[in-house]
Chains A and B, each alone.
Chain A
Amino acid sequence: MTANATPFHLAANSHRWRGLMLAVALLGAGWIWVTRSPAPPASDATASPRAGFTAPDFSLQTLDGQAVTLADLRGQAVMINLWASWCPPCRKEMPDILRVYEAYRDQGFTVLAVNTTFQDNESDVRAFVQEFDLTFPILLDVTGSVSQRYQLRALPTTFFVDRRGVIQEVVLGGPMSKALIESNVAKLLPP
C-alpha cells in the first residue's frame, strides 16, 4: 500500500477530513433546506394518465344511453378499465372485476368499464355484458378520444383513481388476478 497523492488518501490521515465532512454536512443540509418542496407535490394538479397525477376528465355515454362524467365521481374510489370484447385477457379478468366491485361498492368504490368501441362493435359489447351479468357502468369510447387521452397501448389497461381524483396505480395488460385488483382497491379505500 503506497500513500500516493489521491485526494482521498491525503485527507484520510489528517484532521482536515473532519473539516471536509462538516462542510459537506452543512452544505448538504443547506441545499436540502433551500430545495424543500412546497407540499403537496405540484404534479397532483396536472391531469395526466399516470400514477401521481389527476386522472384526465372525460364524459362518455353508457350502453343504456346515460352520460357519465369522471369529475362527478370525486369522493369515490374509481377503477377505470379499458377493454374490448375480442380481447382474451379482458374476458378473463372481467368476472374478478365484478366480484371486487360487488364486494366494495358499498364503501364508495365504482368501476368504469370503458369499452374501446372505436375498435369493437356495439352488439358484441352487449353480448359480452349479458354473458357476464356486468352491473357496473359500461362506457362507450366511440371516437377513441378517451383511449388516446389515456395513452392506451395495451388491452386491458386499468387505472386506480382515489377519492381526490388522483391516479394511484396503472396496470398495463392483463388478466389481473382478483388479489391484484383487491389490493389496489384497498389502497384507495383506507380503513
Chain B
Amino acid sequence: MFPILQLGPLAIRVPGLIALAAAWLALDIASREARRLGLSAEYVYNAGFYGLVGGVLGARLWYVGTYWSVYRTDLLAIFSLNPATLSLGGGVVLGLLVMAWYLRARALPIRLFLDSTALALAVFAAGLGLVTLASGDAYGVPTRLPWAIYMWDDYRHPTQLYDILAAATIFTILWRLRNNRPFSGYLFLSFITLYALARLLLEPLRGDSLIWAGGFRAVQLWSLAALLAALWITPKWARKQPAHSAPWPPEEPYS
C-alpha cells in the first residue's frame, strides 16, 4: 500500500495517477484496435471522452440527488468535487448511456466498436488491480497462506494481485483470438465471458463484498447474469452480421 507520494510540498495520490495512466493506455490500445478494424480512432477517443464526462456528471448528480436536502441550501457546493461525494453507480450508468448515445448519433457499427475495446478493457482491468493495490481497496479475506499480504491489520488474500493475474490471462487469450474473429462482436463477448467468469470465481476471496440478503455476494450474481447474457447473445450475433457492417472494408480480411 502506497497511497500518497510526497514530492516536497506536493502530495500526489498514487492510485489516481495509476488510474490515469491505465485509462490513457487503454484508450491508446482501443484506438489502435479501432484502426486495425477499419474504424477511425477519433471515434474511440470521442466515445471515451464523452463517456468519461457523462460518468463524472452522473456520479455527481446521483450523489447530490441522494443528499438533496443538504445541497438545496448550498447549491454552489454541487461544484465542489471530492472523491467522497461521487456515486459510482450513477457514474457507470450515465457514462454508458452517453457513450451509447454517441455511437448511435454517429451511426457507428457498434459491434465493431465493442471489439476494438476488448483488449483495452483487459488492460484497464489490470490497471484497476494496481490502483486497488496502491489504495488498499478491493482487499481480501484474512488467510494464513504463505503469499498473504499484510493489509488493514491482518494477513489477507492478495485479491488485487489475483485480479491483475486474471486480467493478464484474459489479455493473452484475447490477443490470440484477435486475428481470428468469426463474427463482429466476438472479441467483446469473449472479454465479457472471461471477465465475468473471473469475477464469479474470485469474489469469495474478497473481504469487502457487498452482501445481499441471504449472504449472497452482489458481484457474483451480477457476474453470473453477465456471463449468461454473453453466452446467450453469442449464437445470435454469430448467425447474423449487422447490415451496417458491410460498408466497412477491413471487416473482410480479418473475418
- Residues on A lying within 8 angstroms of B by beta carbon are 1-4, 6, 8-9, 11-13, 17, 20-21, 24-25, 28-29, 31-32, 35-43, 46-48, 50, 52-53, 153-154, 169-173, 176-180, 182-184, 186
Asked if residues A36 and B214 are in contact (CB atoms below 8 Å), the reply is: yes
Chain A residues near B85 (CB, 8 Å)? 179-180, 183
Cα distance A8–B232 in the bound complex, in angstroms: 11
Name the segment of B40-48, B95-103, B117-125, B217-225 touching the other chain.
B217-225
Q: Which residue of A lies closest to B82 (CB)?
A: A180
Asked if residues A39 and B77 are in contact (CB atoms below 8 Å), the reply is: no
Residues of B198-214 whose CB lies within 8 A of A: 200-201, 203-204, 207-209, 211, 214
Take A25-B224, A154-B4 as given contacts and tell me if A9 and B238 are in contact as well, using a CB distance cutoff of 8 Å: yes
Take A21-B231, A36-B215 as given contacts and tell me if A8 and B182 are in contact as well, using a CB distance cutoff of 8 Å: yes
Tell me if B88 counts as interface (CB < 8 A to partner A).
no
Q: Which residue of B lies closest to A153 (CB)?
A: B4
Cα distance A21–B220 in the bound complex, in angstroms: 17
Question: Which of these, B136, B183, B203, contacts A50 with CB under 8 Å?
Answer: B136
Asked if residues A9 and B183 are in contact (CB atoms below 8 Å), the reply is: yes
Asked if residues B153 and A38 are in contact (CB atoms below 8 Å), the reply is: no
Cα distance A14–B245 in the bound complex, in angstroms: 25
If over half of B's interface residues share one DSSP class (helix, strand or loop), that class is named, otherwise mixed; here it is helix
21 contacts between A and B (CB under 8 A): A2-B182, A8-B189, A9-B238, A11-B235, A12-B235, A12-B238, A12-B239, A17-B231, A21-B231, A28-B200, A35-B203, A36-B216, A36-B217, A38-B215, A50-B136, A172-B3, A173-B11, A179-B74, A179-B78, A180-B85, A186-B69
CB contacts between A and B, total, < 8 Å: 142
Asked if residues B224 and A32 are in contact (CB atoms below 8 Å), the reply is: yes
Cα distance A124–B49 in the bound complex, in angstroms: 48
Asked if residues B63 and A183 are in contact (CB atoms below 8 Å), the reply is: yes
Take A8-B238, A153-B3 as given contacts and tell me if A21 and B232 are in contact as well, using a CB distance cutoff of 8 Å: yes
Asked if residues A180 and B182 are in contact (CB atoms below 8 Å), the reply is: no
Cα distance A137–B180 in the bound complex, in angstroms: 67
Asked if residues A37 and B217 are in contact (CB atoms below 8 Å), the reply is: yes
Chain B residues near A42 (CB, 8 Å)? 141-142, 207
Chain B residues near A37 (CB, 8 Å)? 204, 209, 211, 215-217
Asked if residues A24 and B217 are in contact (CB atoms below 8 Å), the reply is: no
Most interface-central of A13, A35, A42, A47 (chain B CB within 10 A) = A35
Question: Which of these, B4, B204, B241, contacts A35 with CB under 8 Å?
Answer: B204
Tell me if B186 counts as interface (CB < 8 A to partner A).
yes
Asked if residues A178 and B77 are in contact (CB atoms below 8 Å), the reply is: yes
Interface membership of chain B positions 138-172, coded 1 if the CB is closer than 8 angstroms to chain A and 0 otherwise = 00011000000000111000000000000000000
Chain B residues near A36 (CB, 8 Å)? 214-217
Asked if residues A179 and B227 are in contact (CB atoms below 8 Å), the reply is: no
Cα distance A180–B84 in the bound complex, in angstroms: 8
The 3 A-B residue pairs whose C-beta atoms are closest, nearest first, are A179-B77, A35-B204, A183-B67
Cα distance A52–B151 in the bound complex, in angstroms: 14
Asked if residues A39 and B82 are in contact (CB atoms below 8 Å), the reply is: no
Cα distance A31–B224 in the bound complex, in angstroms: 10
Chain B residues near A182 (CB, 8 Å)? 67, 70
Cα distance A48–B216 in the bound complex, in angstroms: 25
Chain A residues near B186 (CB, 8 Å)? 6, 8
Cα distance A9–B182 in the bound complex, in angstroms: 7
Closest CB in chain B relative to A30 CB, distance in Å:
11
Chain B residues near A24 (CB, 8 Å)? 227-228, 231
Chain B residues near A172 (CB, 8 Å)? 3-4, 13
Q: Which residue of B lies closest to A178 (CB)?
A: B74
Chain B residues near A176 (CB, 8 Å)? 82
Cα distance A104–B152 in the bound complex, in angstroms: 31
Closest CB in chain A relative to B253 CB, distance in Å:
12
Asked if residues A32 and B136 are in contact (CB atoms below 8 Å), the reply is: no
Question: Which of these, B153, B154, B224, contacts A29 with CB under 8 Å?
Answer: B224
Asked if residues B217 and A8 are in contact (CB atoms below 8 Å), the reply is: no
Take A24-B228, A25-B228, A46-B153 as given contacts and tell me if A39 and B182 are in contact as well, using a CB distance cutoff of 8 Å: no
Interface membership of chain B positions 75-101, coded 1 if the CB is closer than 8 angstroms to chain A and 0 otherwise = 001101010110000000000000000
